Structures are given as C-alpha cells and as structure tokens.
Structure 1
Amino acid sequence: MVQLLSSLPTIDFARFGDGSSEEARKIGQQLFTACRDVGFAYLINTGIPQGQVDGMFNWSAKLFALPIETKMKAPHPPEGWKHRGYSGIGREQVSQMVFDTEELKAIRYGKFPDFKESFEIGNESSKRVQNIWIPEDNFPGFRTYAVNFYNICREFQVSKLLPALAIGMDLPFDFFLRYHEDAENQLRLLHYPEAPTDVFESGEKGRIGAHTDFGTATLLFQDDCGGLEVDSPSDPGVFMPVPPVPGTVLFNIGDFLMRWSNDTLKSTLHRVRAPPRKESDNGVTKERFSIPYFMGADRDKTIECLPGCFGPDKPKKYEPINAGEYVEMRLNATY
C-alpha cells in the first residue's frame, strides 16, 4: 500500500512476509518507484518497535547531556574513515562532492559551521574498525542498548528492505544481500544544541547544509522538533519540509546506490534547518535529536552497473568501483 504523508510516498511493509507473495512483489515495485522518482519515502510496519526507537532517543539525550570530559573518553579518531565515537560541535562539516584540499578547508573553517555533535556506532563484531565506547562505569547500559538497536535496524535491512528493492528491480531476492554481508553500517546519534534564534537567522550557525548521503541507503528516525527538508522532485532547488510522522521510519537512497544503478535511482539533496521563530520560544531555538542508520556495501566488494540499468539507449556512466575506496574517499572529505 502506498499513500502520501507530506509530499513523500509511504510504503507499508505489513504484508511483505518472506518476500515470496504477490503482495511482496507489489511492495517491492512501490519501493523501486519511490527510489526512482523521489529518492525518499516514509516506511511503516517495518518491525522496528517504536518502544525501542523511543528508548534510543532517551539514551541519546542522556549521552549528549554528559560533561564534555566524559564524552571525550570516546573520541572520534583523526582519520575520517575510522568513523566511531564522539565528535564535538563543529568537528564534522558536510562537503557535497568536494575533494580539493583548499576548498575543504574553506568549508570547515568558513562562516557557517554545522552546529551539531554526534556519536558513531558500527558493527560490534567488526575486525576492521572497532567501536569506541564511553567506559561502562561512566555510562552504564548505553553500550548494550545501542548494540541491540543497531542489530534491530540491521534485521529489517536484510529481512525486508534490501530484498524488497531487489524484487522491485527484477533482480534475484538475495542480490543486494550478497553485497551487504559484513554489516558495514553506521548508527549515528545526532544532537543539534539549542541556541539563540538570531544566530541561525543571521547565518552565523547552521544545523546541516544541503547534502546527499554517500552509502547504499539510510534509515532516519526523527524527534518531534522538525527541520528536515528535501529537494523537491517536481521543482529542483526548492526544499520541502519533511515533518516527523509518529510510527514511521524515513528512508532515502545514497550516492553509492545511485551510481550503482547508473543514476536510475535518485540520491536526493536534503538539509536540516532551524525551525521558524515562535514567540513561545523566547528567542531560543530548541535542541533537536535524530538517529540515522547508514547502510554500506562490504568494503572488499567491487560493484558494476546493475542489470537492467543500462542498454543501447542508456550507456554506462561510471567505471566499476570498490566500495571501501569509495566510502573512505567520501569520509575523509568530511573530517
């Protein structure tokens, strides 16, 4: 079932089952259509319990309320590709497809810093990059809860989401699963602190500028603050609000999958802005929390143009590329 919440399609996974039914095929086709035409969709009945989502937001609020010296017991390493641990305000600056050293420096130290802090969590079993945790004595229970939430998101990814996309593109059920066996994913806890409203209105501070995600795809959980905006598919350059909708998970395509599909699927620009001033705010823009779960292909896999996405009237635009090299290039430009 597809409906519209806001300006985005909403896809209902309630009847997906094991992916073998006609209903599952229709859900896959609806997901593909959303990925092709918009690049974003609301997902409902994913099997990710709302109670677990609420709990993760509670833990996130507790984390960012810790003293800075406690948060810095789990510091993000200097290397961008070691994307784990805590990053303070201004540490990360989005850089949309910019790789020149001087241009990156201008973005990082320019007038409009991204006013946010974050904590990055990956596969707890990874041998390549280990998670960096605040010591248990300083923050008991957080590690266990966060790892469990990561695994819940991963379960939806492999049991329903990637199979549905494969079905919708007339590919074998397990096509995308073969490229995502190592759980090279990232759970990010994001906090945009409160600040005087006039610093956002003047441009002195921003939340996060227009960008696309660079992995396979993203699941996003929002709090009730709002502020997310997506480039309109019908009017490029005009950003439309994407409000939080209780009981949904927001889904979007990343640059890696767009490239893999020869630009058949759409990686759409999006940004986070401070909400408009309200008299009741007393001149202060309230804090915002969000939790994206970024999906990435296995680092050792090399991808070529997806079957069905090229032909005599649609030549291949891109050379084959290794997933690890691609992601590290993008991460190192961000940090």
Structure 2
Amino acid sequence: MRNFDYVRAADVEQAIMLHARGSDTVYLAGGTTLLDLMKLDITRPARVVDVHKLKLDQIEPLDDGRTRIGAMVSNTDLARHEHIRRHYPVLSQALLSGASTQLRNKATTAGNVMQRVRCGYFRDGVSPCNKRTPGSGCAAVDGLNRNVHAVLGGSPQCIAAHPSDMCVAMVAIGATVHVQGPKGRRDIAFADFHLLPGDTPWKEHALEAGEIITHITLDAPMPGSRSAYLKLRDRGSYQFALASSAVIVALDGNTVRDIRIALGGVSTKPWRAAGAEAVLRGKPVSEALVREAGVSAMAGARSYGQNGFKLNLGQQAVVRNLSLLTA
C-alpha cells in the first residue's frame, strides 16, 4: 500500500473543494471497489476524500412519479426499500443478485455506478491493458476472455464487460445522473453516462474532473407493467453475470403496449436493446416473436474466442425472461 493523504468531507461543497486541492485525488464512499484497486496497486491516489458521511442517503418518491435516490444509499437499503420493491422490482432483484450481503451493506448507489471492470488483465498490474496503461494493448482480445469479457460494444482496444447488475436495471428503467463539480451542477442521462471503449477505453464515464454524483433519479414506472431481472452465471451466488437481462413489459391483453430490455454481462456498458424492443412493441406475443427479439437483442455481437458462447447465452437471457413475464 502506498502512502496517501486522507480527508473527510462534511458536505458536497467541501468534498469538491478538497478534491480540487491536488491532482490524483479520488472520492471514497463504501470503498468496495476503490480499496481493492488500491491494495492491488492499480489505483494510486495521492489523496482520498471520504464522502461516505454526506447526507445523501434518502430515497424520495417525487410528485411527478419519478424516484430520487441519494448517492450514498446502500445497495441493501435500496434493494429492500418498500417503494423500490413495489414500483421497481427489476431494480430490487438486480441488486439482490449481486455480491454478498456484507458487500451490499457497504456498497453505495453512486459507487455501484462507478465501479470498474473485473478483467484479470486490468487487475494483474503487468499485462497489456489500455484501460490501465493507455497504448499498451489489450491482452484479453486474444487471451483468456470467457467470463468477464464482452461480445457487444467492444473494440480492439478493450473488451472488458461492465460488471454491474444494478446499472442494467437502471438503463432499462431509464434514469438521470445528477452531478456537482467545480463548474456547478448538471444532469446526465443514465444511458449516456457509461462510455464505450472505442479508442479511449481509459475514459469510462461522462464525469468531468472533480465532479461527484449526488443523486440518481429513476423515470416514473411504466403504467401497468411487470418486470424481472434474470442473471445467468456459473454458480448460483456471488459471481458476476455471464449474461443477464432486465425486462419491463406492459401488455394490453396479449399485445405488447410498451417494453424495455437491457443486457448485462455481455457488453462493455449497460446495454439497452432498442432493436429487440422494436420487434415486440405493438405486436401480439408469440413464441416466434420472442425468439426474434432475443436474436435482435444480440445484433452486432462478436465472439472473441472463449466468450463466443455468450452470443447464444445473451439471447437466452432475453428469451427466458420475456417468456416468464408474458406467459
């Protein structure tokens, strides 16, 4: 462990001020990702600004039907909150499928959004990794890439899959990320917050220097909808998804009035499957149409060898979830 300065912020404004006092500064909330990366010597901050005591731990239903979630709300509190369980069951299910109870008790909403990839080449500190050392290459493209590597949204520079379950549910629901920084406050559409690797895989999100997430606002629930999160993995608990799907669907009789589908485990960012939604929207549900939607959800996917099975598994994550929700 390298030496670093540690300071605790009393409010958001002080946190931003403390962050701005030096370079190589990071915010610390639950620490479930940051502390791991510091111990591995992957992240080497000169200063840590502790923000976990900020008064951003409320879940607030808004008058317009949306729901505002403070950045410091723990994953456990969010998953177990009665309003979330009733109106956003897909989000509660996604959170409860991730990590362990101990980690969920510490992990925060903003930290979950900001968590970094679990690629072994990124974390070993020595392999070529453009995300860790820009320009060094991507060892995963031709290396071991079965579990935590993507078949959607990758590039020759990086194929690491985004690890979050919560974020898959949120991109299906629709949300806004509220941030504050040295230049003031601004809002970022959740679908635009995480960036594709492209030629700059070290740029993982849309935050600017010194900005901190203060809240996330979920869109109002889809009227008359049902939803579910399905996570497929090698073992039944405490493992990242090989493929997952978040589906929200509203039916008029047997006809799909509206639908939202998102994928995880197979993509470099939380992946909204708009093409699959278009296949189903406004049409009567049938087995053939559900299969067509599954194929469409994985349109453009590319195998990198060992992870090629995800092309079919991603389809199955969508088909199985849709079949259960529309039965």
Shared fold (TM-score greater than 0.5)? Answer: no
TM normalised by structure 2 equals 0.24
TM normalised by structure 1 equals 0.24
